[in-house]
Structure 1
Amino acid sequence: MTESTKTILVLGGTGKTGRRVAARLTARGLPVRVGSRAAATPFDWTDQDTWAPVLRDIDSVYLVFYPDLAFPGAADAIRAFTRLAVDGGTRRLVLLSGRGEEEAIPSEQAVRDSGADWTILRASWFFQNFSEHFLLGPVLDGQIALPAGSVAEPFIDADDIADVAVAALTGDGHTGRLYDLTGPRLLTFAEAAAEISRAVGREVGYVPVSPDRYAAAATAHGVPVEQVTALTDLFTRVLDGRNAHLTDGVRQALGRAPRDFTDYVRDAAASGVWNR
C-alpha cells in the first residue's frame, strides 16, 4: 500500500468526521488543508468564489457536504465542485454519504462520473450525535424526542468512519469501492438512551413523536424553517426501518470490527460531556 504525500483537502474539517480525519492525517505527517468558513483559506458551499482557492495544489479531497446530501441543490454543488477539482489536478475523491438516502445518489453519481479515483462511504447514524450534535441537549435534559418510533439503527462511531476515510485517502485498494458502514449491532433509540442512562447514573428517556411535533420543537429552538422541513422529511424516511440491518463495510475497508456503542458510551460519560 502506498501513501499520498501531497496535500489533502478535508471539507467539513471542523465537523464530527472531518476533524477526526484531519487529525489522523496530521498525525501521519501528511499535509492537510481544512475546508471550513473559519479556515485560513475559507471555504463555503454556498459561495463558489471560495472553491478554487481551497482546491489549489490539492491531490485528494474528503468530501462532506453541508448540511446534507439529501438537501436540494446538493448534487449540483457536488458536480460543479468535483469538476473544478479534477480540472485543477485533484486525482482522488472520498465522499461521505448517508445510508438509505435516495436523494444522495445523484451526488454519489457525480463523484463516480468525475474522472477521479473515487470511494464512497455510506454511513449510518453516528454515535456522536448523542454527544457532539443535536441530541446532546436532549440527553442533558433527560429526554430524546425523535420521529423514529421503535425502529432499530446500526449506529456507528465517527472514529471508525474517519479511519475508513483516511485509508481511502492515503492507500491503495479502495478506488471504485462503496463502503456501507454500520456498527456491530442494532439498537433502538430507547435502547441507546437506556445505555446512556446507566453510564451517567440518571434517567435519559426516549419519546417517539410525530414529524409535526418534532418540526415544531426544532423551529422553537431556532432551527431555520427550510432546514427543519428538510431534516424532518429526511428523518421520517430514513428512520423507517430501511437501515435496520448490519453490514461489514468497516471490516472490508480496515480488516477489523467496528467499535461497539457500549464502549463509546463509557468513554463519553467519562469525558464529562453528559454532566448536567
Structure 2
Amino acid sequence: MSNDTTSNDTTLVLGATGKTGRRVAARLRLRGTQVRAASRTSRTRFDWSDPSGWDTALQGVDAVYVVPPPVPGPVHEFVARAEAAGVRRLVLLSGHGADTWGDSTFGLEMRSAEDAVRGSALEWTVLRASNFDQNFDEDLFHAPLVAGELALPAGAVPEPFIDIEDVADAAAAVLAEPGRHAGRVYELTGPRALTFAEAVELISRASGLPMTYRQIPSAEYAATLVKEGWAEDDAHHVAEMFVLMERGVIAEATDGVATVLGRAPRTFEDYVVRAAAAGAWRR
C-alpha cells in the first residue's frame, strides 16, 4: 500500500514512530485505511518546529491523528494549514482532566492544542488519556525499576493508569468512524486507580524481582532528572505533573474506554503480566 495519495482518503498520523503513533498507524493499516506516517525520521517528514514541511504532509489528507508538540502554540497554525488543505477531521491526544488543571504549569502545550482543535471548523475529537501503563517499561520509570527502586514525588493519591493499547484502540476506532465522535471529549483511563507504590508492588511480584517505591520531594526529583541529562525546563515540567496529581483532581477512573470501544479497559495486572512475560524488567 502506498503512503501517498492525491485524493482525500488518507489518514495522517503524527508522531508515527512514537508510543501511540506507531500503534495507531498499525491498527489503521490493518483496517485497510490509507496511512501517511509522519515524524522527524519518517519518509514523510514532520517536525513541529519546522512548518515548511507541513503542507506536503497534509496533501490529500482526510483525517489527522495529532500528538501535540512539547510547547504551546504550533497547533493553531497547523490547524489553519489543515483547513486550507481540505482536511475534514482531527483526533487529538491530550491529558486526562485537562480542563481541571487550573493554574498548574503542567500541560500548557496540551491545553493550547485543545484550544486550537476545538476552535476549528473541522470535525474534531479529543482523547484525554491518563498516565500510560507503558511508562513503566518504555519510558522514564523503566531504568529505575530495573535498578530496583523507583523514587517519585507521588504519594497516597492514586492514578488511573491506562494501557496504551487501549488508547491506540480508541484512536483507531474514532479515526475509522467519521461523524460518530464529532465534538466529543473522551476521558480515557484504566478501570481503577492505583498508587505508584501499589503499581511497583505488582510489577515486582509479576517479574519476581525485588523492587521498591520511595516518595521524594518534587524539587529533588527535578534535580535528579537534571543530573541525568534532562534540560531544566523539561525536568521541572515532569515534576509539575506530580504536583498536579497530588491535588487529586485526576485520580478518578472513567468509563471513556467503554464508551468508545464497548468494552472495559485492560487492567494494570494484565499489562504487568504481558510485560513481565516479555522480559521488560529483566536484569
Compute the TM-score of the two structures, normalised by the length of structure 1.
Answer: 0.93
Q: What SS is found at the alignment partner of 2:121?
A: coil
Matching residue within 212, 216, 220 for 2:223:
216
Does 2:50 align with 1:43? no
Residue 97 of structure 1: SS of its match in structure 2? strand
Name the CA distance, whole Å, in 2 between partners of 1:6 and 1:14: 21
Which residue in the other structure is 1:185 paired with?
A: 192
Match of 1:110 in 2: 116
- State which of 247, 251, 262 in structure 1 corresponds to 2:258: 251
Q: Give the drift of 1:107.
A: 2.2
Displacement after TM superposition at 1:44 (Å): 0.8
Select 2:239's aligned residue among 224, 232, 255: 232
Offset of residue 12 of structure 1: 1.1
Q: Distance in 2 between matches of 1:150 and 1:235?
A: 12
Q: Which amino acid aligns with 2:78?
A: F
| Structure 2 unaligned regions, length at least 5 | 1-7, 102-107
Structure 2 match to 1:77: 74
Q: Measure the CA separation in 2 of the matches of 1:169 and 1:163.
A: 10
Partner residue of 1:90 out of 79, 87, 90: 87
Give me the whole-angstrom Cα distance separating, in 2, the residues matched to 1:238 and 1:110.
25
State how far apart, in whole Å, the 1-side matches of 2:217 and 2:226 are.
Answer: 14
Taking the aligned partners of 1:223 and 1:205, their CA distance within structure 2 comes to 24
Residue 177 of structure 1: how far off its partner (Å)? 0.8
By how many angstroms is 1:256 displaced?
A: 0.6
Kept after mapping to 2: 8 A contact 1:99/1:123: yes
Counterparts in 2 of 1:163 and 1:63: CA distance versus 1, 3 Å: same
Q: Quick one: structure 1 residues 210 and 234, their matched pair in 2 at CA, closer, same or farther if it must change by over 3 Å? A: same
Give the match for residue 128 of structure 2: 122
Listed one character per residue, the Cα deviations across residues 170-222 of structure 1 (whole Å, up to 9, x for unaligned) are 10411111101110011000000000000111111111111111011101111
Contact preservation (8 Å) 2:68, 2:113: no
Structure 2 equivalent of residue 16 of structure 1: 19
Question: 2:104 corresponds to which residue?
Answer: none
Gaps of 5+ in 1: 68-72
The alignment partner of 1:131 has SS state of helix
**Distance of 2:239 and 2:64 partners within structure 1:** 29
Pick the aligned partner of 1:132 from 123, 128, 138: 138
Give deviations 1:67-113, integer Å, cap 9, x for gaps: 3xxxxx42x21111111111111100000001134433332121011
CA RMSD of aligned residues (A): 1.3
AA at the equivalent of 1:240: R
Counterpart code for 1:94: V
Indicate if the aligned counterparts of 2:157 and 2:245 stay in contact, CA closer than 8 A: no
Structure 1 outlier segments of 4+, above 6 Å: none
Of residues 256, 265, 276 in structure 2, which corresponds to 1:269? 276
Amino acid at match of 1:181: L
Q: Which of the residues 197, 203, 206 maps onto 2:210?
A: 203
Q: Deviations over 1:143-164 (max 9, x none)?
A: 1111111210000011101111
Counterpart Cα distance in 2 of 1:114 and 1:156: 28
Quick check: 2:16–2:25 contact (8 Å CA) kept in 1? yes
Question: Take 1:17 and 1:202, find their aligned partners in 2: how far apart are those partners?
Answer: 28
Residues 25-71 of structure 1: per-residue CA shift (max 9 Å, x gap): 1112211111210011211111111211211111100000133xxxx
Query: Which letter does structure 2 place at the counterpart of 1:63?
Result: V
Instruction: Decide whether the 8 Å contact of 1:100 with 1:238 is kept in 2.
Output: no
The alignment partner of 2:138 has SS state of coil
Q: Which residue of 2 aligns with 1:70?
A: none
In the alignment, the residues of structure 1 paired with residue 84 and residue 231 of structure 2 have an alpha-carbon distance, to the nearest angstrom, of: 35
Whole-angstrom distance in 2 between the partners of 1:256 and 1:9: 27
In structure 1, the partner of 2:182 is: 175
What SS is found at the alignment partner of 1:9? strand
Q: Shift of residue 240 of structure 1?
A: 3.0
Alignment partners' CA distance in 1, 2:143 and 2:53: 33
Distance in 1 between residues matched to 2:124 and 2:69, nearest whole Å: 20
Percent of pairs with identical residues: 49
